[in-house]
Structure 1
Amino acid sequence: MWFVITNGPLKILKPNKAIDVTEGAPQMVQKQRSDWTSEDKKKENLNNVSKDILYKSLDKNTFSKIKICPTAKEIWEKLIQICEENEQTKENNLYVTMKNFENLKMKARETLSEFDERFSSVVNELAALGKENLAIEKWHSKR
């Protein structure tokens, strides 16, 4: 499956019997869909399975950025592009996330479970930025 993500969908090929091969490997041509075996069908479906796994691992915001990509490989390349941010973007994300953390208060009519979900989300964002210890220190200093 990783091969499909990094190299693109598998091509279902067969030896070209129209060309006589005297040395080396035979030349390969695309196999007709009507000639596919059940193994060929599984190989063809790997791109869809890979896309599904990638989709399920993304939040709504990121999903909206990659949903138009037709192959798992293109999704992966787009994710790399999205995640490889420059230093200025990382600093901005950290600043915004820290402000969200500092302003985190339980809302009126919010359940403890809902607040915990929001709290965990912000802490997870900080952890992704490598700053979860900073959040813990700030949280303890607030108390």
Structure 2
Amino acid sequence: MFNKIKTCATAKEIWEKLTQIGEGNDETKEKKLIVAQQKYESIKMKDGETMTEFDERFSAVVIELTILGKEYSNRELALKVMRALPRECDVKTMAMRKFKDLNKLELHDLFANLKAYEF
């Protein structure tokens, strides 16, 4: 890594070079964003997966998208999670849609509620 930045004269040049190495050029970033959005769109809770495991997997995709410049509202995230859950969670998700303000429901609060229901 040092060999790639040793010719840089300023901290700004070093930072820009490291950013380019880590993130890639605009085309690379766009491709990473497309892949991350595909992961987001296709995510479903797997058979035998715990709510904690799904929370970690879903949150990793959301963080990846945020880093790439794509953000979703609380409502969009909550609805996506609810659609990704298995059918046995339908009663819980219907109740949450009715009684919770999805615009204000943070992702961690949603998963805390779902984890309590899982027990």
The TM-score, its normalising length taken from structure 2, stands at 0.47
- Structure having the higher strand fraction is 1
- Structure having the higher helix fraction is 2
The TM-score, its normalising length taken from structure 1, stands at 0.40
If you compute each CA radius of gyration, which structure gives the higher value, 1 or 2? Answer: 1
Structure number with higher relative contact order (C-alpha < 8 Å, ≥ 6 residues apart): 2
